[in-house]
């Protein structure tokens, strides 16, 4: 029988973080202490199922707050921290980079500093068992040309947006805390995720949302930018495997082996919606597509070589894009109230009332 143990998850009210909290609470007997600032991207509705569960403790706070982090470590004695908390939207990082530096760089530094102080004072067995897992992105590696080989763990960093530069900085700090102080760190760099609970500013939920509202569906530039897409549950499973069995100090790339152009993503979603929601005669959802001015510095192609995690830890993605995208569209159709809450400001008003004005 597994011992009762605790992990701290940061950013566990966001898209991937909340999927991971579900996954970990279901897979293990462990307690999850979930530290989240509840920015516009964090949403307690994502965690409804576990709202009053004794193994899920939600804490509304900032990863950059020294006192909050040090108290959590002292009070809960975790064997691991999994850091999802971040500002994550490239477009926002272009128009307002400040929060990206504050959370992604300063916040990660604060977590590392406080984790190191906590870890250093642990008894030898607990010290040996402790892990700091930092969740990062393939965007730190920059942009690929059409025939370039996929990113591996040894590809040099070349971040191009304020978002990817802030994530690259945090990855370097994690590396430094391992090399300089011996903190048992793990870093994962993953490709684009899709699935339930993703805020509808990101490509896939935005397209579904706009298509359902019959609003224009914007595509940047010529729409031929390529991303590797991974169903979020596969990402959660990969993080679980790295947390349990990854070699300390190592980096693991995670990807779906699934390179698709933005144009193909949008057309696929439109075709599925045409089939599922036959509208008025002659209407196709693709007629809503509008090509708009490209994002400044838009990376052309990302591709991930995930052979290290496959060969070392036996992880492989389970969901094909065809089934994953259908599940995702079905989720957004079945959860119209969730979408309405996060897009209408009703949720933000609720957070203000419950957390900021109490
Ligand atoms: P998200 O924007 O949906 O969620 C981020 C969460 O962090 C939110 O709940 C937010 O409230 C919280 N947060 C923000 N600032 C905070 C702070 N200062 N203190 C505490 N909490 C804070 O992001 P996501 O898409 O779920 O991404 C999670 C992580 O995975 C990020 O680190 C991101 O860089 C990485 N990642 C994302 C993708 C992707 O496709 N979405 C791919 C690879 C890696």
- State the Cα–Cα distance between residues 284 and 277, nearest whole angstrom: 10
Annotate the chain with three-state secondary structure.
Answer: CCCCCEEEEECCCCHHHHHHHHHHHHHCCCEEEEEECCCCCCCHHHHHHHCCCCCEEEEECCCCCHHHHHHHHHHHCCCEEEECCCCCCHHHHHHCCHHHHHHHHHHHHHHHHHHHHHHHCCCHHHHHHCEEEEEEEHHHHCCCCCCCCCECCCCCCCCCCHHHHHHHHHHHHHHHHHHHHCCCEEEEEECEEECCCCCCCCHHHHHHHHHHHCCCEEEECCCCCEEEEEEHHHHHHHHHHHHHHCCCCCEEEECCCCEEEHHHHHHHHHHHHHHHCCCCCCCCHHHHEEEECCCCCCCCECCECCHHHHHHHCCCCCCCHHHHHHHHHHHHHHCHHHHHHHHHCHHHHHHHHHHHCC
How many domains does the chain divide into? 1
Query: Scanning the structure block, which residue is given the tokens 């609470």?
Result: 25
Residue 216 domain-assigned?
no
Q: From atom 15 of ligand 1, which residue's Cα is the shortest distance away? A: 86
Residue 76 domain-assigned?
yes
Looking at the whole model, is its pTM more than 0.90? yes
Q: What is the pLDDT of residues 40-74, one digit of tens each?
A: 999 999 999 999 899 999 999 999 999 999 999 99
Residue 184 domain-assigned?
yes
Residue 119 domain-assigned?
yes
Residue 57 domain-assigned?
yes
Residue 263 domain-assigned?
no
Residue 334 domain-assigned?
no
Here the tokens at position 159 are 């971040």
Q: Would you say the CB of residue 159 lies under 6 angstroms from ligand 1?
A: no
Q: Would you say the CB of residue 142 lies under 6 angstroms from ligand 1?
A: no
- State the Cα–Cα distance between residues 229 and 282, nearest whole angstrom: 31
Q: Which of 36, 138, 305, 319 is catalytic?
A: 138
Q: What is the CATH number of the domain that holds 144?
A: 3.40.50.720
In this predicted complex, what is the ipTM?
0.99
Query: Per-residue confidence of the chain (358 residues) as pLDDT tens digits?
Result: 445 699 999 999 999 999 999 999 999 999 999 999 999 999 999 999 999 899 999 999 999 999 999 999 999 999 999 999 999 999 999 999 999 999 999 999 999 999 999 999 999 999 999 999 999 999 999 999 999 999 999 999 999 999 999 999 999 999 999 999 999 999 999 999 999 999 999 999 999 999 999 999 999 999 999 999 999 999 999 999 999 999 999 999 999 999 999 999 999 999 999 999 987 788 999 999 999 999 999 999 999 999 999 999 999 999 999 999 999 999 999 999 999 999 888 777 877 777 776 5
| Of 75, 82, 58, nearest in space to 118 by CA | 75
Structural domain range at position 16: 6-194+231-256+298-320
Q: Would you say the CB of residue 86 lies under 6 angstroms from ligand 1?
A: yes
Q: Is 345 left (phi over 0), alpha (psi -120 to 50) or beta?
A: left
Q: What is the pLDDT of residues 307-324, one digit of tens each?
A: 999 999 999 999 999 999
Residue 179 domain-assigned?
yes
- State the Cα–Cα distance between residues 21 and 5, nearest whole angstrom: 14
194 catalytic? Reply is: no
Pocket mutation for ligand 1, best pick of 62, 69, 85, 199 (most atoms within 8 Å of C-beta): 85
């Amino acid at each position: 029988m597994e011992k009762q143990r605790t992990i701290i998850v940061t950013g566990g009210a966001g898209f991937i973080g909340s999927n991971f909290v579900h996954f970990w609470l279901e897979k293990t007997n462990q307690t999850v202490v979930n530290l989240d600032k509840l920015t516009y991207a964090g949403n307690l509705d994502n965690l409804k199922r576990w709202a009053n569960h004794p193994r899920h403790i939600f804490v509304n706070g900032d990863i950059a707050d020294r006192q909050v982090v040090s108290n959590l470590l002292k009070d809960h004695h975790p064997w691991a921290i999994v850091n999802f908390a971040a500002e994550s939207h490239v477009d926002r990082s272009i128009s307002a980079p400040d929060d990206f530096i504050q959370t992604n760089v300063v916040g990660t530094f604060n977590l590392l500093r406080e984790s190191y102080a906590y870890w250093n004072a642990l008894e030898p067995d607990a010290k040996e068992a402790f892990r700091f897992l930092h969740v990062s992105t393939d965007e730190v590696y920059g942009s690929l040309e059409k025939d370039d080989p996929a990113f591996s763990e040894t590809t040099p960093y070349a971040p191009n947006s304020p978002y990817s530069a802030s994530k690259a900085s945090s990855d370097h700090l994690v590396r430094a805390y391992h090399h300089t102080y011996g903190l048992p760190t793990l870093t994962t760099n993953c490709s684009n995720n899709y699935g339930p609970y993703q805020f509808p500013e990101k490509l896939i939920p935005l397209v579904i949302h706009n298509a359902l509202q019959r609003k224009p569906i914007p595509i940047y530039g010529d729409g031929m930018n390529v991303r590797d897409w991974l169903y979020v549950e596969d990402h959660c499973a990969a993080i679980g495997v790295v947390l349990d069995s990854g070699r300390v100090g190592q980096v693991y790339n995670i990807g779906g082996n699934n390179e698709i152009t933005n144009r193909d993503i949008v057309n696929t979603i439109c075709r599925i919606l045409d089939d599922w929601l036959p509208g008025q005669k002659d209407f196709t959802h693709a007629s809503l597509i509008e090509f708009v001015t490209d994002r400044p510095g838009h990376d052309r192609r990302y591709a991930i070589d995930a052979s290290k995690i496959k060969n070392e830890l036996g992880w492989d993605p389970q969901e094909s894009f065809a089934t994953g995208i259908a599940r995702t569209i079905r989720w957004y159709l079945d959860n119209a109230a969730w979408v309405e809450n996060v897009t209408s400001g009703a949720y933000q008003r609720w957070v203000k009332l419950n957390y900021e004005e109490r």
